[in-house]
Amino acid sequence: MQNKNPYFFLILSIIITVPFWVAFACGDKKSEDKPAAEKPADPGKPGAPEAPAELKVASSLTGAGATFPFPLYSKWADAYGKDTGLKLNYQAIGSGGGVAQIKKKTVDFGASDEPMKPEDLQKEGLFQFPMAIGGVVPVINVEGIADGALKLSPAVLCGIYLGDIKKWDHEELRKLNEGVNLPAKDIAVVYRSDGSGTTWIFTDYLSRVCPAWKDKVGAGKSVQWPVGMGGKGNPGVAAYVKQTAGSIGYVEFAYALQNQLPAAQLANKDGQYVKPSIESFMAAAKHADWENAPGFFMVLNDQPGAETWPIAGATFILMHREQKDEAKVRAMFRFFDWCYRSGAAMAKELHYVPMPENVIELVAKKWASEITANGKPVALK
Amino acid sequence: MTPRRLADLWKAQTSFRKSSAFHRHVDRAFRYLTLACAATTLLLVGAILWNLIEHAWPSITKFGLGFVTSSQWNPVKSQYGAASSIYGTLVSTAIALILALPISLAIALFLTSYAPPWLAKIVGTCVELLAAIPSIIYGMWGLFVFAPYMQKTVQPMLAKLPGPLFDGAPLGVGMLTAGIILALMILPFLTAVMRDVFAMTPPVLMESAAGMGSTSWEVTRKISIPYGLRGLIGATFLGLGRAIGETMAVTFVIGNSHRISTSLFAPGNTIASTLANEFNEADSPLLEAALIELGLILFVITLIIQILAHLWLKNLQKRQAR
């Protein structure tokens, strides 16, 4: 069939679809503008005269970020919400996403497993504080070796992940483990394939204790692994380790406990071999020097103390220093304070490690001095 | 065609249609509507391409052609190369197609030519059900059920074969496992479309061929396949499209390593799996640009394969016409 003017159709069709295109093209900008525009429309605020007697507390909060503390935050929010009616919407989109979202102000708080550097905090007008401790545990699957039976030194762990130590009956391993029946099997190295705070803590630890690792690989949420295979997420690593005879991997402590993966002992800074446990993680946090860590920038790797487990990190909450909505800040502080104190037992139930008392007090002090709503400090009670 | 003749045609057409002016308007409106929809697709592809290039630009300018040839993927030193991802994408897709094409062809032929109608109905429904399984299920099944089976049974068997393809420790996961999972995933798609293509072969053609003494295989090879060639290639592309961009299932079983290895047992990665792994935590602008460039490369690879297939098809038709 012939058309009168084929171009006519083309032009017309473009005209018809123009609204879509405008929408597409502007989509990006709009989504960035929105949160700022929506902010003033918070519940209980607009227009109405301030009630002087009672302090306003927001009834809902939004947060986004790290997946590692997600089960803990959910449980806390659930228990706290039952008493107070606070609704917390936490999206476990990953630490990087959490940082990006809080920068864009699309959420009330962000959560990250990797502390932000003090100068970056300054630049973005952000404040961070540790909420709970996460530890990383090497887990193994070697026939005949039970949980806690294998001893690893930092150098040997590093050698395995560098690919220098290839067999389970390597001389170095035998020296550390007299009396343990080590098979003449290949070591299958397993790592996290997705970018994650767990990997960051683990590689940061290796970089601290092993110069060769620092030179060749370095620390990051994902790195160029010299050997091995990558499983996606803690479940992926756990599955690879469980299914592959002769494998070694690293997972979050909570994950190792819940799945009963055989863990190895590790020598700490004091040269003591320790097993991963809630106590050994808390020892790491207790001995860390938080007072002299600007912006709470602190990694709990390779901390001193005879009982200290050497691979650990805190998981952090990020919020803006200058807030507009006082009721929201108050809700956040009350919630997080409750988490620190009343939530500690709950955290242990889920195999998370709560913050020690000395750190909690320091954080509360900083809340009062560093966070402002409309230029004024926020009264809690 | 001269303008004169065009005008005549148009006049004839309009005079014919004048009998129902209303229908003519509806008809025209409908035509515009379909055209608008089609044009949207075109513009959409163009916009995606433009967007990809725009966002990948920092990586394109920094690494240039080296991005395609280097298999370095080092977020710590901000060095990115796509070679291992491109290699893995092509190899895993090739394994999937090599395994899935003949099997789905056989299933489709069985369903249309050999199976009694009641059986064809049951098997056909099953195939369609398989096509509806979400990819994450294939991934989980691949990781928890199929990978251990590969490790304990299939890989030790294959390891006895000579050659570098089946070297190395049987890890269970790896390129081969990913390829097989992909084959399983695209099998129902290929089969469903191929069955419909074969079902469209005019029975009279097949009957005449059979009447002239052709065997069933000859009827298939000389009548059904050439008749439905375009459709079969279309089906292959549906499968290829799904395999080449498959993300979750592959990420679960491929082993996610940025190293190129000749052994199919070795862990590898694909463009889609790299994106799935890294995008969430890509907080440096260069890493994000590099990941988007990976997406761009996937886009270009698909485009190149499409073009090659069209050229091949054209060539084939020319030869057939002769």
Mean pLDDT, residues B289-310:
91
pLDDT at residue number B241 = 86
Report which residue type is found at B94.
Answer: A
Q: Is A80 found in the same domain as A206? A: no
Residue B138 lies inside a defined structural domain of this protein: yes
> Which has more confidence, B23 or A100?
A100
Question: Where is average pLDDT lowest: A73-82, A204-213, A347-356?
Answer: A347-356
Mean pLDDT, residues A127-140:
92
- Token match 């050659």: residue? B163
Q: Is B90 found in the same domain as B58? A: no
Q: Is A152 found in the same domain as A247? A: yes
What pLDDT band is residue B19 in, cutting at 50, 70 and 90?
A: low
For chain A, what is the mean pLDDT? 85
Domains in chain B, number: 2
Is the pLDDT reported for residue B103 higher than 60?
A: yes
- Distance, in Å, from the CA atom of B102 to the CA atom of B104, rounded to the nearest integer, reads 6
Residue among B75, B76, B255 minimizing CB distance to A229: B255
Report which residue type is found at A43.
Answer: P
Q: Is B226 found in the same domain as B138? A: yes
Residue A36 lies inside a defined structural domain of this protein: no
Q: Is A360 found in the same domain as A246? A: no
With contacts defined as CB-CB under 8 Å, which chain B residues touch A2?
1, 6, 9-10, 13
Question: Where is average pLDDT lowest: A3-17, A90-104, B174-188?
Answer: A3-17
In this structure, what are the phi and psi dihedrals at residue A154, rounded to the nearest 5 degrees? -50, -40
Query: Which domain range does residue B277 map to?
Result: 83-321
Mean pLDDT, residues A198-224:
93
Task: Judge: B10–A4 Cβ closer than 8 Å, yes or no.
Answer: yes
Domain boundary among A255, A279, A303: A279
Residue to test with chain A: of B256, B257, B259, most A Cβ within 10 A:
B256
Is the pLDDT reported for residue B104 higher than 50?
A: yes
Residue B214 lies inside a defined structural domain of this protein: yes
Interface check for A9 against chain B (CB to CB < 8 A): the answer is yes
Residue A285 lies inside a defined structural domain of this protein: no
Residue B294 CB partners (closer than 8 Å, separation 6+) = B82, B85, B271, B274, B275
Residue B71 lies inside a defined structural domain of this protein: no
- Distance, in Å, from the CA atom of A91 to the CA atom of A233, rounded to the nearest integer, reads 17
Quote the percentage of chain B above a pLDDT of 90. 49
Residue A302 lies inside a defined structural domain of this protein: no
Structure tokens at B297: 């490369």
Query: Which domain range does residue A67 map to?
Result: 53-134+312-377
* Cβ atoms A40, A48 nearer than 8 A: no
pLDDT at residue number A77 = 93
Residue A267 lies inside a defined structural domain of this protein: yes
Q: Is A350 found in the same domain as A274? A: no
Q: Tell me how long chain A is.
A: 381
Q: Is B147 found in the same domain as B31? A: no
Domains in chain A, number: 2
- Distance, in Å, from the CA atom of B188 to the CA atom of A29, rounded to the nearest integer, reads 41
Q: Is A328 found in the same domain as A203? A: no
- Distance, in Å, from the CA atom of B14 to the CA atom of A210, rounded to the nearest integer, reads 85
Residue among B38, B171, B277 minimizing CB distance to A195: B277
Residue A14 lies inside a defined structural domain of this protein: no
Q: What is the ipTM of this complex?
A: 0.81
pLDDT at residue number B290 = 95
DSSP state of A222: S
CATH number, domain with residue B279? 1.10.3720.10
Is the pLDDT reported for residue B12 higher than 80?
A: no
Question: Is residue A312 classed as helix, strand or coil in its secondary structure?
Answer: strand
* Cβ atoms A85, A334 nearer than 8 A: no
Q: Is B172 found in the same domain as B265? A: yes
Task: Judge: B172–A244 Cβ closer than 8 Å, yes or no.
Answer: yes
Q: Is A209 found in the same domain as A326? A: no
Q: Is A324 found in the same domain as A210? A: no
Beta strands A312-320 and A126-141 are antiparallel
- Token match 């994106």: residue? B275
Is the pLDDT reported for residue A3 higher than 70?
A: no
Q: Is B145 found in the same domain as B18? A: no
Q: Is B250 found in the same domain as B129? A: yes
> Which has more confidence, B53 or A23?
B53
pLDDT at residue number B316 = 78
CATH number, domain with residue A274? 3.40.190.10
Residue B76 lies inside a defined structural domain of this protein: no
Beta bridge partners of A186: A167
Residue A247 lies inside a defined structural domain of this protein: yes
For chain B, what is the mean pLDDT? 88
Mean pLDDT, residues A48-76:
78
Domain boundary among A258, A279, A300: A279
Question: Where is average pLDDT lowest: A206-220, B47-61, B224-238?
Answer: B224-238
Domain boundary among A256, A279, A302: A279
What pLDDT band is residue A221 in, cutting at 50, 70 and 90?
A: confident
DSSP state of A235: H
Interface check for A17 against chain B (CB to CB < 8 A): the answer is yes
Q: Is B233 found in the same domain as B292? A: yes
Residue B112 lies inside a defined structural domain of this protein: yes
Q: Is A321 found in the same domain as A333? A: yes
Q: Is A348 found in the same domain as A240? A: no
Mean pLDDT, residues A64-72:
87
Q: Is B90 found in the same domain as B57? A: no
pLDDT at residue number B235 = 84
With contacts defined as CB-CB under 8 Å, which chain B residues touch A221?
75, 281, 283
Is the pLDDT reported for residue B229 higher than 70?
A: yes
Q: Is A201 found in the same domain as A97? A: no
Q: What is the DSSP string of A68-102?
A: TTHHHHHHHHHHHHHHH--EEEEE---HHHHHHHH
Q: Is B180 found in the same domain as B149? A: yes
What pLDDT band is residue A42 in, cutting at 50, 70 and 90?
A: very low
Q: Is B50 found in the same domain as B90? A: no
Residue B302 lies inside a defined structural domain of this protein: yes
Residue A230 lies inside a defined structural domain of this protein: yes
B245-284 confidence digits (pLDDT tens): 899 999 999 999 999 988 999 999 999 999 999 887 787 8
pTM: 0.80
Is the pLDDT reported for residue A15 higher than 70?
A: no
Q: Tell me how long chain B is.
A: 322
Q: Is A267 found in the same domain as A181? A: yes
B129-147 confidence digits (pLDDT tens): 988 899 899 999 999 999 9
pLDDT at residue number B234 = 82
* Cβ atoms A190, A241 nearer than 8 A: yes
